[in-house]
């Protein structure tokens, strides 16, 4: 993903949990240098998408140029916005450049109370929902990023939340459900505990997979991961913290940076290159160390979902330390368990990634290219009658173990998806695209 932060972290909202909060207060908001931005986009050789801060604070002609550059490359464009500033002129641009619009919203009414305007400190959810309905009526693809907090993800709010998901489903919209990554002590009380997030994810997974059948993340990522089809979003793949390929950033002056989840302390790191040509990058040693540390000591040793999760997003690390595994370890583990149980009930003969040892995978930190496939017992051509449930369809699969790669030639898992595919919405992992 090539994220163009044309307004840097400038925003018209003051969301309580925003990880760009400190960075925004320290940022020198320079004027847009389109010549420098244009040059850097050309250097990157990837279609750009607009992100922020809030990209719709930029002049209309600047927005149009970025959308046009993406459209010329791939026939589409994308952006991520809080939705409050969308005007008729923006809608016309979205139509012209086949724009997928990612909307940040945490639910209707009080569920979105931590997303407030700068001037009045009023919640914006109901205004944004009207914008979403309008976009869909105009035939524009929309995806949602929902940040989970104590305002929308506890049991008391669950019925309202599910009703909202149903309405979005009827509108043809899905998205991603991200826990708030709050490292600021002053607002820590609005963050979910790992136990609260576990309760939410497991309940919503059952609801989405068995009642509405939509593709909300991370739930659908977990399905793909357990089946060995895809590693999923950057949350579940290896990430070089200071050179995150999942989100390459270009700022308004043409300078580059990494994912701004690395900027919670107020400092935006430049995109460090691997000067020593080490394919691990600067920070991928995390994925060598965590599997060696016992779980009781905060590591991932022996976890049957290590290959699926790889310790979670580094920016969720315990204590705000990217080297640690995610503070939401329990929530993700329980989500994988819940989804695995659902898959086994539907297809008792399914082979899940957690059922096989390392000899069945070419890479120790990825589920890709699992051998045999998840549907081995259900596929014709394997010398038996396939079935999703019959016990006599099962045979010995040890002959299917992977040929181990020679040292130095191990397959490299390049997980470029930011859950977002591109990063506006699936473009932001969120819907449709």
Give the Å distances, CA to CA, from 142 to 64, 124, 126, 136. 18, 17, 16, 7
- Measured over the CA atoms of residue 100, residue 101, residue 107 and residue 108, the dihedral's sign is negative
pLDDT band at 410 (very low <50, low <70, confident <90, very high): very low
Stretch 131-160: mean pLDDT, rounded?
A: 97
How does pLDDT run across 343-373, given as a tens digit for each residue?
999 999 999 999 999 999 999 999 999 999 9
Close Cβ partners of 265 (under 8 Å, ≥ 6 residues apart): 22
Give the Å distances, CA to CA, from 412 to 225, 310, 401. 17, 14, 18
Q: What percent of the chain has pLDDT over 70?
A: 88
pLDDT value at position 52?
A: 87
Stretch 380-393: mean pLDDT, rounded?
A: 83
The three-state secondary structure class of 336 is: helix
The three-state secondary structure class of 217 is: strand
How does pLDDT run across 176-187, given as a tens digit for each residue?
999 998 888 888
Q: Taking Cα atoms as reference points, which of 204, 211, 210, 212 lies closest to residue 177? A: 204
Q: What is the DSSP letter of 433?
A: -
Most confident of 150-164, 273-287, 358-372, 393-407: 150-164
| Pairing mode of beta strands 256-257, 248-251 | antiparallel
Stretch 302-329: mean pLDDT, rounded?
A: 94
Q: What are phi and psi of 76, to 5 degrees?
A: -155, 175
pLDDT band at 288 (very low <50, low <70, confident <90, very high): very high
Token readout for 402 is 């992977």
Which of 57-71, 279-293, 325-339, 390-404 has the lowest average pLDDT?
390-404
Level-2 CATH architecture, domain 2-263: Alpha-Beta Barrel (3.20)
Q: Rounded to whole angstroms, how far apart are CA atoms 312 and 324?
A: 9
> Do 282 and 241 form a contact (C-beta atoms < 8 A)?
yes
Whether 296 shows a pLDDT value over 70: the answer reads yes
pLDDT band at 120 (very low <50, low <70, confident <90, very high): low
How does pLDDT run across 12-60, given as a tens digit for each residue?
998 989 888 888 877 656 678 999 999 999 998 899 999 988 999 999 9
Mean pLDDT of the chain: 87
Which of 112-121, 317-326, 414-423 has the lowest average pLDDT?
414-423
Q: Taking Cα atoms as reference points, which of 281, 289, 283 lies closest to residue 306? A: 289
Q: Taking Cα atoms as reference points, which of 316, 128, 114 lies closest to residue 233? A: 316
pLDDT value at position 157?
A: 97
Terminal Cα distance for the chain, rounded: 14
Q: Rounded to whole angstroms, how far apart are CA atoms 44 and 271?
A: 12
Q: Where is pLDDT greater, at 290 or 421?
A: 290
- Kindly report the number of other CB atoms within 10 A of residue 221's CB atom: 26
Q: Rounded to whole angstroms, how far apart are CA atoms 157 and 111?
A: 7
- pTM, whole model, 2 decimals? 0.89
Domain ranges of the chain: 2-263
- Give the total residue count for the chain: 433
Whether 429 shows a pLDDT value over 60: the answer reads no
Whether 415 shows a pLDDT value over 60: the answer reads no
């Amino acid at each position: 993903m090539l994220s163009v932060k044309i307004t840097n972290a400038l925003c018209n909202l003051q969301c309580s949990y925003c990880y760009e909060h400190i960075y925004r207060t320290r940022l020198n908001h320079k004027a847009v240098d389109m010549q420098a931005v244009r040059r850097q986009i050309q250097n990157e050789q990837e279609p750009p998408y607009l992100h922020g801060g809030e990209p719709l604070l930029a002049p209309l002609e600047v927005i149009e140029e970025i959308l046009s550059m993406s459209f010329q490359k791939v026939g589409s464009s994308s952006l991520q916005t809080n939705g409050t500033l969308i005007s008729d002129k923006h809608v016309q641009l979205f139509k012209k450049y086949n724009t997928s619009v990612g909307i940040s919203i945490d639910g209707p009414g009080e569920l979105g109370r931590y997303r407030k305007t700068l001037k009045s400190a009023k919640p914006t959810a109901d205004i944004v929902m009207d914008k979403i309905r309008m976009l869909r009526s105009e035939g524009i693809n929309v995806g949602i990023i929902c940040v989970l907090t104590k305002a929308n993800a506890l049991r008391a709010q669950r019925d309202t939340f599910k009703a909202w998901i149903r309405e979005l489903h009827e509108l043809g919209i899905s998205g991603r459900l991200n826990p708030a990554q709050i490292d600021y002590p002053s607002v820590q009380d609005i963050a979910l505990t790992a136990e609260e997030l576990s309760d939410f994810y497991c309940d919503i997974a059952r609801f989405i997979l068995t009642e509405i059948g939509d593709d909300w993340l991370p739930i659908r990522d977990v399905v793909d991961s357990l089946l060995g089809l895809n590693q999923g979003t950057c949350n579940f793949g290896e990430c070089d913290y200071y050179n995150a390929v999942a989100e390459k950033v270009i700022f308004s002056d043409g300078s580059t940076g990494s994912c701004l989840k690395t900027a919670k302390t107020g400092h935006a790191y430049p995109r460090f290159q691997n000067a020593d040509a080490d394919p691990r990058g600067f920070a991928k040693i995390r994925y060598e160390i965590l599997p060696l540390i016992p779980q009781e000591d905060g590591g991932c040793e022996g976890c049957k979902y290590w290959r699926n999760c790889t310790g979670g997003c580094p920016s969720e690390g315990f204590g705000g330390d990217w080297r640690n595994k995610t503070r939401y370890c329990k929530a993700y583990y329980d989500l994988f368990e819940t989804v695995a149980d659902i898959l086994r009930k539907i297809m008792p003969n399914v082979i899940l990634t957690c059922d096989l040892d390392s000899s069945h995978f070419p890479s120790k930190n990825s589920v890709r290219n699992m051998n045999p496939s998840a549907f081995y017992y259900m596929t014709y051509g394997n010398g038996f009658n396939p079935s999703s449930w019959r016990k006599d369809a099962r045979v010995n699969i040890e002959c299917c173990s992977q040929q181990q790669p020679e040292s130095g030639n191990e397959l490299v898992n390049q997980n470029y998806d930011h859950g977002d595919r591109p990063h506006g919405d699936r473009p932001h992992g969120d819907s449709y695209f």
